[in-house]
Chain A
Amino acid sequence: LNTLADDVNRNIVVLVNDFYQGHADAMVKLSEILNRELKGIVLLDAQVMAEHSNAPDPNGTFEQIVVDFSDDAAIRAALKQFEDKLLAVTATADKNQPYLQRLLPFVPYLLGPTESSLTWSTHKAIQRRFMERYDPTLVPKYQMIQAPNEVEKALRRLAFPMIVKPTGLAASLLVTKVENENELRQAVSRSFAVLDDVYARDKGRGKPAMIVEEFMVGDMYTIDVYVNDVGRVWTLPLIRAHTAHTVGREGFYEYQADTHLELTEEQKAAGANAAIAAVHAMCLRSTMAHIEMYLTPTGWKIIELGPRQGGQRQDIYLASYGIDVCLNEWLLKIGLEPQVDAEQSSFSSTVYLYPDQEGVIRSIEGVEKARKNPSIYNLHVHGNPGDMALLSSNGGKWVVRGLLTNPDKDQLYRDLEAVRSAISIKTDPVSEVSS
């Protein structure tokens, strides 16, 4: 096992493009564990900076260094000044994985995944192929389509209902359920019409394409795992996820995720094993993986995997189990074992809010009132009046997102309902705004 923990000269941790407070807080804890002061750097691509599409560090705790990631010599020269001090590097979101992939060969003595495994694990069709080969029972039947006129391929191979989704985007963007041929053709046609734009906005991985797969009947869960440089996998507790679709709303975004489970120990163990198989199938190492799964009548199936931690998982695991996901990630990246054993001390649920109707945001009301709810852990607003708000199935992103936690499960769910009721996102149809 490689470990850089004992090299006292190495004191710099690097985030790629996006700053994340969880990693900054965890760096402080890691400093205490290693008994030396650590410094954080955000290595930011020049083009990403020009587009303002990164999450900046609001307090300037991490030094920002701008590099042209398309220029090998520029990366080489930029890193040379502190290469002997580098301790660990990571990237938070799927959109940043191609940048991490570019960076990794320039920091060969840090722990990280192979370049190809990042390509494979950020592309849903390749994921399916690899997992199917590893264990055919892990995945549903699927068909990749690269243009609207390839719908026939899916019609020949698959049975309805089906799910239509992009191959290289995350967060359930442009994901649609279809019940018949007409709906399939419409969904594919509608998605391809905006696909290039959404890929460009969200830095989609690979060539824009869609995947169609047979709909899985069952309950959705997620799990975040750590795999080290020799393939050992540590799994965090499963989380029950509810998509908007399952609660009768439009889209497949994560409407709510709960730490409360009604699973047997055997089911939990089987779920963890399916996640481990998925990680090994993708040949991942020295990384976290966020895995979405279905528990179906025929066992656990993998929906998809991302080579990074899941959204809000830092907060949800910390609030309910005292597990610091980011600290564990730093530990993993320096060759130490993540600390995953913990008792559940509280129940937690995430909440994602979209407008009921697409359009231009007129007002976002009730946020401050919701923040006073005793179960609130955090509540973030993404968007302002005047911004365009689309449904997730049309490539839109959440407007309000938060986490609630409470030792009393019933109180948590009452508070969850109260928060949802308190917040109102009002939109005006685009046509009215234009006129």
Chain B
Amino acid sequence: MKDVVVFVNAIRPATFDALERHAAQTGEVFTPVVLVDEKIQVSIEERNGQLGHLQSVPRISANFDSPSSVQQALAPFMDRIFAVTSQYENSIHELRKLVPYLPYLHMPSESSLKWATEKSHMRELIGAYNSDLVPAYLEVQDASARIIRAIEQSMSYPVVVKPSGLEGSLLVSLANNAGELKAAITHTLDGAQQAYNKWIKRQAPVILVEEFMDGDMYSIDTYVSATGECRHTPLVHVVTGRKVGFDDFFGYMRSTPTDLPQAEIEAANFAAEQACHALGLRSVTAHVELMRTTQGWKIIELGPRIGGFRHEIYSHGFELNHIVNDILNRGGREPIIPEEPIAHVAFLNVYAREEGILRSVDGLHKVKKLPSHRASKQDYEIGELVTFAKNNGDPIVEALLVHADKSQLEQDIAATEELLRFGVEAPQYTR
């Protein structure tokens, strides 16, 4: 009986409900097991929000750099494994290490996981596959005059500076001229190692500078089968912080369904498919971020895992069990993708307008009473330092709003923005 699903390093809390839902609907029961690299177990359990459900699932630790340790850890349930998945970007590194020990399961190749977690590889391979899909870019090591000149010779302003191995718009900055570019590169270089440590990234930081793409941002999660068939989830529209007045690229609001015409949706799906094929992906879910520009769809980046909050968004919007689909696809089965929406969904990441010490959070209890409110979470405690995403910060409040009536949802989004108020005090520095 193949019933075990191995979650590498960590498991999303929503997984338990997702598995129960699947069992209730189909009678198929999956048994989750977390296999975690002992070298990062403590940090990953804290960073990936595992502390609240440590007892809910068997956790097995192993030294992922030791073949005997990995094989010993897998041995008790080797014949029962249906699929192996990594639900978090910061655990792809360990998934890659497991691949060769599980040759008779559907798994992505080791190289494809490396390529799909480093933007520089991603750009290079997607560009080689179809140069229309990616903007001009350069990998840089410093902010010297020589580097600035090289950038100016290969692209025009504005440009975006970003770390190659981080997702979620962390440390991403816009530069309109040489002065801003130099400052942005220096800022990203300075913060990169700290951010890599915080998000438990094991690769060496690399900085990318790329031509700014003007347009509307969307995302698709694509299930890539063992033989390369791509099945796409519905598009999610992403409103970045910049679009609502922040000097930052974080995803302020994600919403679905979109009002894009079918031809545009198909073009976006085709761009996502090309990106997956360019990176040689198979037997994974790929979270693909795209920009709809006047020159067509461009790939911003891709991650070989389900997108953040996409399970919640698709569950409420389409009754699509994204977490289970990820498992089915990795196990060699076809995912189930309902096409008709059942509600309108918005997921908000709310940051403060200033950085500093958080002194108050007001209005959250009123937000919780809005008709569309489904869930919300305050990520910072009073007294903690809050920063923008470009400075490696998290949102203060995350809120999931759902309503069958689009206009009601829009009213509640506006009300959430109006009601939430953060008191932030500039930090006092002492010598």
Contact = CB atoms under 8 A, between A and B. Distances in A.
Determine the interface band of chain A, counting residues with CB < 8 A from chain B: 20 to 34
B227 A109 contact: yes
B110 A115 contact: yes
A2 B227 contact: yes
Contacts of B282: 108-109
A108 B278 CA distance: 10
Contact of A115 (B109, B129, B281): B109
Residues of B in contact with A, size category: 20 to 34
A107 B227 CA distance: 10
B187 interface: no
Contacts of A76: 125, 128-129, 278
A114 B100 contact: yes
Contacts of B227: 2, 4, 109
B226 A73 contact: no
Given A105-B111, A114-B99, A115-B110, A77 B128 contact: yes
Contacts of A74: 128
Given A73-B125, A73-B128, A76-B128, A104 B104 contact: no
A77 B127 CA distance: 9
At the interface, is chain B mostly helix, strand, loop or mixed? helix
B129 A116 contact: no
A57 interface: no
Contacts of A130: 67
B103 A72 contact: no
B125 A83 contact: no
Interface in B350-374: none
Contact of B124 (A72, A106, A115, A283): A72
A114 B110 contact: yes
Contacts of A107: 280
B63 interface: no
Interface in A278-304: 283-285
Nearest to A109: B228
Contacts of B109: 104-105, 108, 114-115
Contacts of B115: 72, 105
A9 B103 CA distance: 27
B317 interface: no
B128 A284 contact: no
A333 to B, nearest CB: 14
Contacts of B278: 76
Nearest to B131: A77
B392 interface: no
Contacts of A80: 128-129
Contacts of B104: 229-231, 285
A116 B110 contact: yes
Contact of B280 (A106, A129, A230): A106
A77 B110 CA distance: 20
A264 B103 CA distance: 33
A251 interface: no
A133 interface: yes
Nearest to A230: B104
Contacts of A285: 103-104
Interface string A66-90: 0000001110110010010000000
Residue of B99, B103, B108, B228 contacting most chain A CB atoms (<10 Å): B103
B68 interface: yes
B129 A77 contact: yes
B129 A113 contact: no
A253 B108 CA distance: 39
A285 B100 CA distance: 10
Given A80-B129, A105-B110, A105-B280, A284 B103 contact: yes
Interface string A106-133: 1111000111110010000000011001
Interface in B93-132: 99-101, 103-104, 108-112, 115, 121, 124-125, 127-129
Nearest to A231: B104
Contacts of B101: 283
A88 B131 CA distance: 27
22 contacts: A74-B128, A77-B128, A77-B129, A80-B128, A106-B280, A108-B280, A108-B282, A109-B227, A114-B99, A114-B109, A114-B110, A115-B100, A115-B110, A116-B100, A129-B67, A130-B67, A133-B67, A133-B71, A229-B104, A231-B103, A231-B104, A285-B104
Closest 9 CB pairs of A and B: A116-B100, A105-B111, A73-B128, A76-B128, A105-B109, A285-B103, A109-B228, A231-B104, A114-B100
Interface of B: 67-68, 71, 99-101, 103-104, 108-112, 115, 121, 124-125, 127-129, 226-228, 277-278, 280-282
